[in-house]
Structure 1
Amino acid sequence: MGKKTNLELHGNTWRVTVSIPVSLREIIGKSHFKESLNTSDLDEAARLKHGVVGKYKKLIETYKKIKPQKTLQPLNSTITS
């Protein structure tokens, strides 16, 4: 993984960005997680990012587990007389 992977310079400060899968964006309400690392030093940001990226990857996995796998039909539409 490259030094700048998942990093974005915002002004003078590095921040982590983690892309949210398209299938979860409506549920989560955004396309990326972003969090400041509160440093202007790229080497320090590259060291700090791993914990933050891991946190968001774990959160994405949690959302994948709770996301409905298919749309449920209303009960009354499946009952026949």
Structure 2
Amino acid sequence: HIDYLLKESEIEEIIFNESTEKIECELSQYISNNAKGIKNFGCSDCECESHLYYFKNRNEAIESVQNAYKSIAMDFEYFKI
């Protein structure tokens, strides 16, 4: 859904991983404890309430995503563009 989001925004930082494992829902579940989700966004193929979250500030968002990866012991990359 990045094409929809880029109509009104731009990418400044990226946190990602390369894996054959499907971990999106595990990450989403962790992040949902710390942020407000946009209901039904990006999760039409699962039972999650959302895969897009709102944070009040960027540092809080980055920390939550990094901690989500750490909670499932998954390596990740972080880049500023």
TM-score exceeds 0.5? no
If each structure's strand is expressed as a fraction of its own residues, which one has the higher value?
A: 1
Larger Rg: 1
Q: TM-score if structure 1 supplies the norm length?
A: 0.30
Greater helix fraction, Structure 1 or Structure 2:
1
Higher relative contact order (CA 8 A, sep 6+): 2
Normalised to the residue count of structure 2, the TM-score between the two structures is 0.30
